Amino acid sequence: MTTPNIDQANSAAVERMMSARPILTGVATARDVIPGMKDNLLLHAGPPIEWEQMSGPMRGAVIGGLIFEGMAKDEAVAVSMLKAGEIEFSPCHEHGSVGPMAGITTASMKVYVVENITHGNKAFSNLNEGYGKVLRYGAYSQEVIEKLRWMNNVVGPLLADALEAIENGIDIRALLAESLHMGDEGHNRNKAGSTLFAAKLAPLIAQLAKEKSVAAEVLQFLGNNALSVLNPVMAACKAMADAGHGVEGSTVMTVMARNGTELGIRVSGLGAHWFTGPVGQPDGLYFPGFTADDASGDIGDSTITETVGIGGFAMAAAPAIVTFVSGTPHDAINATLEMYEITVAEHEHFTIPALDFRGTPTGVDIRKVVELGITPRINTGIAHRDAGVGQVGAGLVRPPMNVFEEALVAYAEKYGFA
Amino acid sequence: MTTPNIDQANSAAVERMMSARPILTGVATARDVIPGMKDNLLLHAGPPIEWEQMSGPMRGAVIGGLIFEGMAKDEAVAVSMLKAGEIEFSPCHEHGSVGPMAGITTASMKVYVVENITHGNKAFSNLNEGYGKVLRYGAYSQEVIEKLRWMNNVVGPLLADALEAIENGIDIRALLAESLHMGDEGHNRNKAGSTLFAAKLAPLIAQLAKEKSVAAEVLQFLGNNALSVLNPVMAACKAMADAGHGVEGSTVMTVMARNGTELGIRVSGLGAHWFTGPVGQPDGLYFPGFTADDASGDIGDSTITETVGIGGFAMAAAPAIVTFVSGTPHDAINATLEMYEITVAEHEHFTIPALDFRGTPTGVDIRKVVELGITPRINTGIAHRDAGVGQVGAGLVRPPMNVFEEALVAYAEKYGFA
């Protein structure tokens, strides 16, 4: 067996991540486009998990997903189906897909379709529901389900028409590069990106909506949601990360995701295996009336942003975010500087004006994480621990060290050294 | 005669500037709303000037203004009218108004109406034409005039309807505060503000346009113009600056404006008098094919932004702007830091995340300018020196020191000391 040159393999993996050009080309129904999607399957955030182990918000979102699909008329029916094992679960990540927070994606849901035109792979993400009581934070009241249906029946098809009318789609890497120059970090702060996204779609939505009032409602929905672009951004990041996966000998992390109970990572040179450990509790700022006691464990696939060099890794681009996640602008700069320690490259397309346009730290090398004892920084929303409540704050968290250690052991076993 | 307490007067003037709350309430026809507006009057940027002294871009815009109004059928007729003295000129600033670059505002033009709801004064600005061949840079071809007519007949009335439908109008101070957290400085970089503005208006435009295609065209026009909000921002700054004008004994600058030939300032405690001097040549980056030899002298009322503490004074909020105006992100920080030396206050509402949310330097004290030898920084577009060409670059410039010295002499004469 030849010894792989690890640094070369890592450079190749990160070069593929950075040269991936993710284009948002459409909106389609999950069962029609997501590989392996089927009617009794629910995709969820993070590594594999079954009903019994799920946290409150994940359970709430699962119940809501079944009600949304018309498979259960209420919570009681949903829970009995779940206990009877009638529903299958699979990680979004195992289907080229990603979802924020609980990440529950069902067969009938409309999803964004992103194509990496450099390497040909595709990725998917559901639509963003905005704020308040939302499925992704585990809420499943009638109001939540009705909003999801409106999104599926009105917003999704109109976005599909608008995207079809845009020649060559929307280049999400370019949109992210621009929004990093406008105070976004692309994970927890997407105000600039979402506004650019809404403004770009607005003429098409106005033109293509069947009725003016529908155009107005959809534009209001997009315009009032500073996270509207998060989901296409996540799909774009998934397309970039997947491009870097599967490079023989590479120790670059290509997946980092949380299901509310466990965080899991995958590594470019280590195939489909998940390395998992218990999720952390985000440290951050809570909305009025809530404290850390209300918080669920860390949850969501949105750490795909950090995986490709933005989010918590690009905090220096977004000093205003500290009013939302805690800390000072100086801490934000330091967060980014620290991540250079454990990454392979500086991003060719994502740059930080405040750091003299230095590229964001990109491609976590699990060797460096273990060697330096520095885990990746994650910039995240915080869900309430109980199903059905919703978001209670936002803050910062890190993955457990054991996942990197175990991955490195597996690497040594596979390649004979590390 | 009592000796005024200058520091107290200056605090009062700047307090009025900062507490002014400029609300964009409508769009109306200039002759109906601008005080003193009449059919044979053209308002222009900067201090008073007559045809003979005007620079190329100002002359081009004057010719275009007369053609737009239907007062002249072509350049030759316009010039003969101008030489015959049939047209009157007056600074925008003397009519509660402001206009970018040449600032030519004619009686039939639609203008934004901004009300300072704290103190009751109003201010006005014309609509922004976007990029390329535009009147404000002195272009007056058929294409330019046709675009102005479309803006006046289609865009303006639709914006008027949309603004009428927004309860309580659009709070431009709040929008600016938000955009300073999104990498804008509010003068030369208004990408975030313009996108927020377009996204906010989009649902109303979609709802209120008579035809879908009109809504789509207007949304495209707003969405493709990263300066669309500059004009309402300038009117808002004018409303704030005017609120600080007329405070007995104050040495705070309340107007700074350029007509392409001269720069003029006014001072809070010195009434309506203009102190003028020759304009500088901006130092910056030129578009491909142009050099400093092509540049007109500094021009436009847009320095009303610096007058109230944004623009060049808030460069630290907009590090990405250096790709457009030259310099490094460090220079941008230093530009803001330097302006604290010559200003009275740190803005209560406009803050800079990268400086730990410090308020922008606000209210230039002409005493400090003269004493320290530090003139205000201006962040500006650069016009071609010839009429009809357009923008050739963007950069940085300073006003001539003599205007501050002369103002201080006038202050000493009026108040007996300085």
- B158: domain CATH number is 3.90.1710.10
Give residue A96's region: left, alpha or beta (phi > 0; psi -120 to 50): left
A207/B contact by beta carbon, under 8 A: yes
Q: Are strands B253-259 and B299-300 parallel, antiparallel or unpaired?
A: antiparallel
Name the domain boundary from A201, A233, A265.
A233
**Are A366 and A312 in a shared domain?**
yes
CA within 13 Å, CB half, A223: 23
A5 in any annotated domain: no
User: What's the CATH code of the domain at B277?
Assistant: 3.90.1700.10
> What is the residue-wise DSSP string for B324-388?
HH-S-HHHHHHHHHHHHTTEEEEEEEEEEGGGTTEEEEEEEBHHHHHHHT-PPPEEEEEEBSSTT
| pLDDT tens, position by position, B172-206 | 999 999 999 999 999 999 999 999 999 999 999 99
Percent of residues, chain B, with pLDDT higher than 70: 99
Using a CB-CB cut-off of 8 Å, the residues of chain B touching A206 are 202, 205-206, 209, 212, 215-216, 219
Residue A124: partners with Cβ closer than 8 Å, 6 or more residues away: A30, A33, A34, A95, A96, A97, A98, A105, A111, A112, A113, A114, A235, A238
| pLDDT tens, position by position, A210-261 | 999 999 999 999 999 999 999 999 999 999 999 999 999 999 999 999 999 9
What six digits make up the tokens of A60?
């709430």
Cβ-count burial A115-150 (b if 16+ within 10 Å, e if not): bbbbeebbbbbbbbbbeebbbbbbbbeeebbebbee
Asked if the Cβ–Cβ distance from B215 to A217 is below 8 Å, we say no
pLDDT band at A4 (very low <50, low <70, confident <90, very high): low
- In eight-state DSSP terms, residue A73 is S
| pLDDT tens, position by position, A170-206 | 999 999 999 999 999 999 999 999 999 999 999 999 9
* pLDDT value at residue A418: 53
**Are B343 and B396 in a shared domain?**
yes
C-alpha to C-alpha distance for A378 and A402, rounded to whole angstroms: 16
**Are A99 and A207 in a shared domain?**
yes
**Are A79 and A225 in a shared domain?**
yes
Domain that holds residue A397: 245-415
**Are A189 and A284 in a shared domain?**
no
B12 in any annotated domain: no
pLDDT of residue B155 exceeding 90, the answer is: yes
Name the domain boundary from A187, A202, A233.
A233
SS3 B53: helix
What six digits make up the tokens of B4?
């005024």
Using a CB-CB cut-off of 8 Å, the residues of chain A touching B217 are 203
A9 in any annotated domain: no
B13 in any annotated domain: no
> What is the residue-wise DSSP string for A129-184?
--SSS-GGGT--SHHHHHHHHHIIIIIHHHHHHHHHHSTT-EEHHHHHHHHHTTT-
pLDDT band at A1 (very low <50, low <70, confident <90, very high): very low
Asked if the Cβ–Cβ distance from B354 to A182 is below 8 Å, we say no
pLDDT of residue B418 exceeding 60, the answer is: no
pLDDT of residue B3 exceeding 70, the answer is: no
**Are A95 and A215 in a shared domain?**
yes
Mean pLDDT computed over B134-142: 94
- Strand order through the sheet with B391-397: B283-286, B391-397, B378-383
Asked if the Cβ–Cβ distance from A215 to B217 is below 8 Å, we say no
**Are A399 and A264 in a shared domain?**
yes
Neighbouring CB atoms inside 10 A of A392's CB total 23
As for how many domains chain B has, the answer is 2
| pLDDT tens, position by position, A109-140 | 999 999 999 999 999 999 999 988 899 999 99
SS3 A190: coil
**For A183-197, B130-144, B302-316, which range has the lowest pLDDT when averaged over its residues?**
B130-144
A1 in any annotated domain: no
- In eight-state DSSP terms, residue B2 is P
**Are A184 and A254 in a shared domain?**
no
Size of interface A-B (CB pairs under 8 A): 114
CA distance B190 to chain A (A): 10
Asked if the Cβ–Cβ distance from B220 to A205 is below 8 Å, we say no
What six digits make up the tokens of B185?
């400085």
User: In terms of CA atoms, which chain B residue is nearest residue A198?
Assistant: B199
Using a CB-CB cut-off of 8 Å, the residues of chain B touching A320 are 181-182, 353
CA distance A177 to chain B (A): 11
Residues in chain B: 418
B329/A contact by beta carbon, under 8 A: yes
CA distance B111 to chain A (A): 23
**Are A72 and A158 in a shared domain?**
yes
* pLDDT value at residue A387: 83
B209 in any annotated domain: yes
B6 in any annotated domain: no
Name the domain boundary from A233, A261, A282.
A233
User: In terms of CA atoms, which chain A residue is nearest residue B320?
Assistant: A353
**Are B123 and B256 in a shared domain?**
no
- In eight-state DSSP terms, residue A207 is H
pLDDT of residue A389 exceeding 90, the answer is: no
B35/A contact by beta carbon, under 8 A: no
**Are A274 and A397 in a shared domain?**
yes
ipTM of predicted assembly, 2 dp: 0.94
Percent of residues, chain B, with pLDDT higher than 90: 93
B63 in any annotated domain: yes
**Are A390 and A351 in a shared domain?**
yes
